[in-house]
Amino acid sequence: MKRIAVFCGSSKGFSEDYSKQAILLGEYFSRNQIGMVYGGGKIGIMGVIADTMIAHQGEVIGVIPGLLKHEEVAHQKITQMIVTKKMSKRKVKISKLVDGYIALPGGYGTLDEIFEALTLGQLQIEKKAIGILNTNNFFHHTLKQLDHMVQEGFLKQENRDMIMVSDTIEILLEKMKTYRAPQMTKVINTVPRK
């Protein structure tokens, strides 16, 4: 994988572990010549990983909608900044630039972005690896919700299995490198009623 999109918070959260893991991921990317595409911010976890990669001469591409490109938000020292007119255009641009996606802890925006990537994979519009770096078991309840969706018949197990999870960077990246998209074409599992 040459470039990976990283979705993460514009806040740092309450635990230092989130920033520490972002630093380790930035170092891993830089060491392995993996470019990062992200939201373009200099604050929160986004800023931590971008600063780490800049310090290690890594490639960092920000994609930011014009409405968020304020001096206090947009990173000024990254490799390249791409400004889009709309949030929706930002997602399209990111998907065109990357070979896979990783979510780190974050809020609504992070969930929105990772679930859009999963939806594109489910519909077979894309066949890219999608991972969650589960620092401090941050995504535990989100993953339980996905399991519940499978149990209740709203999500196929094949589509649930598209998301790779680890709390270890090396293990997550190994899973992503060997990812094979499901061959299923039907989105909805039609089970006859009893």
From the first residue on, what is the mean pLDDT of each consecutive set of 10 residues in the chain (194 residues)? 96 97 98 97 95 97 85 85 91 96 97 96 95 98 98 95 97 96 62 48
So what's the pLDDT on residue 193? 47
Cα–Cα distances in Å, from 3 out to 30, 59, 72, 119? Answer: 11, 9, 26, 20
> Whole-prediction pTM value?
0.90
So what's the pLDDT on residue 184? 63
The amino acid at residue 171 is I
Q: Are 32 and 65 in contact (CB under 8 A)?
A: no
Q: Are 117 and 91 in contact (CB under 8 A)?
A: no
So what's the pLDDT on residue 71? 60
So what's the pLDDT on residue 87? 87
Structural domains present in the chain? 3-177 (3.40.50.450)
